[in-house]
Chains A and B, each alone.
Chain A
């Protein structure tokens, strides 16, 4: 055992057939989650090792990745860190998803928890994975020195080749693996000086591109176990409904249907294949108990929120003397903003495969939150969490959805498997309609903003009231992240407004509604970035100032914000007027900047508004400061991705309720952005030698205010509710 805790696991039970050298890294003193103020938890059994690298005698280097690959690039980024310090050749890298074991695979930013989220995957692994690679390298080097009987420092390792240049000898990792496995782990390892990086900071190709281009990548939807049944569930039409009674006769008469069972979530139809299960479900007659069902519509919910916003909420931030500042202000402006529920609508609808035996439960899933899923599933079965084995497969998107704080769809699948006494493995499949109507949405919100300007148009007072359901209430995170009634995720991006405003108040109301809600790509910033960044443009307009220059001035003490803001403005030629291609078209340019998950993103959007009120986003210039960009191309891809995801929501996204029933069902009424609507996108990465910060989410919240500000510039009419509707 050395100072950072790498131990040699080769002779332990982690040794697999064909593996030569396996290294583990113990849990270091747990890092603090950024923004959570000094929380520090030490995992029980912190000396328990966790394996990250396996070097086979076949010269492959397998990196065991603890984070879900859902598109954001973990299966490329984390292996890059190992390969860098190991001096491996990128072509010899293989990737394996880690099993559920929080003692080895915990997220260092989430304390003792194993899970993927909050754009933390690469950031929390940055040193851990490099150390794992460096230790393996040192052992390979020692094994070569011993074999050749030469001084270790006379050996060179580069791109997977181990060389002794003076004697012109050469070997590879595979040939050294077995002897390296017998050596002690070095007392300490030296990590590379960043100037010597060969892979970090450059583009390496994604490890999963090939399998995802030829149909061989395996998702949960593709898992087929011997004897497995496919289950579809008839869910209650309203949240909170329960099955009262059902008639299974017609469903059971469908060829291929094997069983029909009631579960707490509804009634499940099990069949040999999807289509039979679907026909069986269509034939099923269920009567629902709606005594506890939620029956409000979106309009009623919003009306209630509006009323609440007229009253003071709980303080989330208080600076200076707000009433005094408003009293002295030369001019006061107010604006209110409305945000709908949003579904994640991952390309792969939720699904889960479960195999039960007397003393174990094995699950195949796009597994995102092991430390929640294990105990939730175990509780259903009366098992211990460690009896639940989780296989982490590729996820066809998540955007937060698969990290459900109640393991909702896993539990549903397990209930079905339990309902047939584990007689067969079960694959729960949600149709697109099931997925769209299952809740766990980004909450609806209402924001009321009020600002005071002095005679020169400077902002002297800023009051921000937010109304919306708490995401964390009733979850395992409530104790951790809800303080004095303030859910940190409801006010993030607003309570930490970066602008230098002397008198400032942020307040929160967290009404309860019977609609299940959840984090959605960039969480609180999805709404706070919009209201703060568009309101700021309204204030700039009222003061007759340039919105870019207003931001520059107010961000004088926030260098990262200022840098990306200036980069985006420069790339967009901010001062050059836009020209219209057609008479009657109005064009506009808008800017927005926002920090989320320790990454700062600025975007300039350019739009064209046609005479009929339709518009298109022509171009987006995006600048990002994410610390050191480990893989600049993956950073670019995530910026592009976040922009499309955020733009989709800005243009079309709305889940609405009528008498408690979700009105949307599929991609015709919950519309995704398509290729013909794509803006050109330019991504510019700020130079930085700081530790990497996340990129999966931070581009998402910036695009809606950038576009709304561009439309405001083009039409003179502010956009105050999403999705965007242009008034003609």
Chain B
């Protein structure tokens, strides 16, 4: 049994320590908001926060996050960055197929938690690890800027 804290709740998991956090969340804890896109830290669909830092959960083992504080898309709305981002995402109808968007919002939330008013270049560098095959990038950067302005 390995324990971790997910969205403020302590949870214990009976899985091999080498299991990626992504599959722990999805298959063992039944939290499916975090998505699988590549399994190789190339697309960002699986982005979560580990101790406040963005991490690709497909390439982060359970052992590495034992006892750590994890935030996922299911919990990010409880933070002020997550809330303004989700509002901006909806206001601008950012999602198309939507499959990449959990990861996009998690990367954006990590950015805004660190830099309240990011420059365009900072947005670009924080978000370029997240692939969107539907091509919602321009709306994503618009929504991040709008969320940043709404962040008190």
Contact = CB atoms under 8 A, between A and B. Distances in A.
A680 B27 CA distance: 40
30 contacts: A205-B90, A206-B93, A206-B95, A209-B94, A212-B101, A213-B98, A215-B74, A215-B102, A216-B33, A230-B27, A273-B23, A274-B26, A347-B97, A347-B100, A348-B97, A348-B99, A395-B97, A398-B97, A637-B96, A640-B135, A641-B135, A642-B135, A644-B132, A666-B42, A667-B42, A674-B128, A674-B131, A675-B127, A675-B130, A676-B125
Contact of A667 (B43, B96, B101): B43
A71 B141 CA distance: 19
A213 B131 CA distance: 16
A205 B87 CA distance: 12
Contacts of A221: 32, 35-36
A224 interface: yes
A569 B35 CA distance: 41
B54 interface: no
B27 A640 contact: no
Q: How extensive is the interface on chain A, given as a class?
A: 35 or more
Given A432-B39, A675-B128, A219 B99 contact: yes
B150 to A, nearest CB: 15
Interface string A102-141: 0000000000000000000000000000000000000000
Contacts of B15: 273, 275
Contacts of A678: 137-138, 141
A274 B95 CA distance: 26
A724 B140 CA distance: 27
A275 B20 contact: yes
B99 to A, nearest CB: 3
Contact of A641 (B19, B130, B134): B134
Contacts of A660: none
A472 B94 CA distance: 35
B86 A347 contact: no
Interface in A195-220: 205-206, 208-219
B96 A275 contact: no
A349 B16 CA distance: 25
Nearest to B77: A214
Given A213-B86, A397-B97, A273 B139 contact: no
Q: Which of the listed residues B74, B98, B99 has the most CB atoms from chain A within 10 Å of its own CB?
A: B98
A396 B38 contact: no
B38 A666 contact: yes
A436 to B, nearest CB: 10
A342 interface: no
A13 B19 CA distance: 47
B149 interface: no
Contact of B141 (A73, A230, A399, A675): A675
A230 B130 CA distance: 26
Interface residues of B, number: 59
Nearest to A223: B32
A215 B100 CA distance: 10
A213 B127 CA distance: 16
A291 B139 CA distance: 50
Given A212-B101, A666-B38, A667-B42, A347 B131 contact: yes
A695 to B, nearest CB: 12
A681 interface: yes
Interface of B: 15-16, 19-20, 23, 26-28, 30-40, 42-43, 45, 72-74, 77, 86, 89-91, 93-102, 105, 123-125, 127-141
A71 B128 CA distance: 21
Contact of B131 (A642, A672, A680): A672
Nearest to B27: A273
Interface of A: 70-73, 205-206, 208-219, 221-222, 224, 230, 255, 272-275, 345-349, 394-399, 431-432, 633-634, 637, 640-645, 648, 666-668, 672-676, 678, 680-681
Contacts of A210: 86, 90
Given A214-B73, A275-B16, A675 B137 contact: yes
A394 to B, nearest CB: 7
Contacts of A676: 124-125, 128
Contact of A274 (B23, B37, B140, B141): B23
Contacts, number: 177
A212 B127 contact: no
Given A230-B27, A397-B99, A432-B39, A673 B135 contact: yes
Interface of B is mostly: loop
A532 to B, nearest CB: 24
Q: Which of the listed residues B37, B91, B125, B129 has the most CB atoms from chain A within 10 Å of its own CB?
A: B37
Contacts of B94: 209, 213
A676 to B, nearest CB: 4
Nearest to B28: A273
A680 B124 CA distance: 13
Given A209-B93, A213-B101, A667-B43, A348 B137 contact: no
Contacts of B141: 675, 678
The 3 nearest A-B residue pairs measured at CB: A215-B33, A644-B135, A212-B98
B97 A71 contact: yes
Given A274-B27, A641-B136, A675-B130, A218 B97 contact: no
A214 B86 contact: yes
B140 A675 contact: yes
A410 to B, nearest CB: 19
A266 to B, nearest CB: 19
B13 to A, nearest CB: 11
Contacts of A399: 133
Contact of B40 (A213, A275, A666, A675): A666
B72 A215 contact: yes
Nearest to A674: B128
Given A215-B34, A275-B16, A676-B128, A640 B97 contact: no
B42 A668 contact: yes
Given A221-B35, A347-B132, A675-B130, A208 B95 contact: yes
Contact of B133 (A206, A214, A272, A645): A645
A287 B16 CA distance: 29
A599 to B, nearest CB: 17
A222 B128 contact: no
Contacts of B30: 224
A644 B137 CA distance: 9
Contacts of B91: 205
Nearest to B30: A224
B98 A675 contact: no
A437 to B, nearest CB: 14
Contacts of A675: 123-124, 127-128, 130, 137, 140-141
A395 B133 CA distance: 12
Nearest to A647: B135
A155 B145 CA distance: 46
A348 B36 CA distance: 7
Q: Which of the listed residues A218, A255, A348 has the most CB atoms from chain B within 10 Å of its own CB?
A: A348
A676 B16 CA distance: 37
Contacts of B99: 219, 346-348, 396-397
Nearest to A209: B90
Given A221-B32, A230-B27, A275-B27, A208 B133 contact: no
A633 B93 contact: yes
Contacts of A219: 35, 99
